[in-house]
Amino acid sequence: MTDLPLVVITGASSGIGAATARAFAAAGHPLLLIARRLEPMAELGLDDAELAAVDVTDTAAVAEALARAEERFGPTDLLVNNAGLMALSSVAEQDPALVQEQFDVNCVALMKNSQLVLPGMQARGRGTIVNIGSIAGKQLYTDHTVYNGTKYAVHAMTEGLRRENAAHGVRVLLVAPGMVDTGLLGNTGEGDVLDGYLDYKSSIGGGLRPDDIAQAILTAYQLPQHISFREIVVAPTSQDA
């Protein structure tokens, strides 16, 4: 059992979420890991970790998992809103259900789950929320219109949350990755859009490792509470777009 405070990570079954879980476990933090798939989280083999196989859009289920973890480990000191969905397509050809789902996962769930921890953080006068944005929340890319929209929204909401919570001593920061080697493209069907994305990725020598992003999050969190990296944009040096 550790004396360090609880870290909550959504989308923790793979990619950046799983890497962040490993990094904070290695640093000695107890964890609440949230994702739809239980088995990959269990396979991480992390001590002092509460696992919740729930969808981040199910706010009631997230709240129940949070209550269990906080009863076991104490109050949440860090929430990493990492769960995300990227489905690339022109708008005219995109499945309307995927349009809705991207906003539900990337934006609405992020806000609702932040609401679960913010009152406690404000009352304690400390805490950190890290929202995983994207370089696609800073500039437009072909066939990214809906995904761009969700990430521009995440960037705006993160800055708004930061301003609302500054006087409470609560940090809210954005981590905006460029290309990363993750499974995020699983909702982009085969064809020219996917091929073009992968061709560009190959041309720059591939993306960052999820561990690279996890270390950026850990570094930002481990700063003294009175210091906040408001925004971290992290991408391969070779990425020009």
Residues taking part in catalysis: 147
Q: What is the dihedral of CA 161, 166, 168, 173, to 10 degrees?
A: 60
How is 184-198 classified by DSSP, letter by letter? GGGGSPTTHHHHHHH
Q: CB under 8 Å to 154, separation ≥6 — which residues?
A: 106, 107, 110, 131, 132, 133, 134, 137, 174
What secondary structure letter does DSSP report for 144?
Answer: -
Q: CB under 8 Å to 163, separation ≥6 — which residues?
A: none
Residue 229: both structure tokens together: 């990296």
Inter-helix orientation angle 15-26/210-221, to 10°: 50
Supply the Cα-derived Rg of the chain in whole angstroms.
Answer: 17
Q: How far apart are the first and last CA of the chain?
A: 44
Q: Which residues of 188-220 are buried (b: 16+ CB within 10 A; e: fewer)?
A: beeeebeeebeeebeebeebbebebbbebbbeb
H helix or E strand, kind and range, residue 9: strand 6-10
Q: Compute the distance between CA of residue 160 and CA of residue 52 in angstroms, rounded to an integer.
A: 29
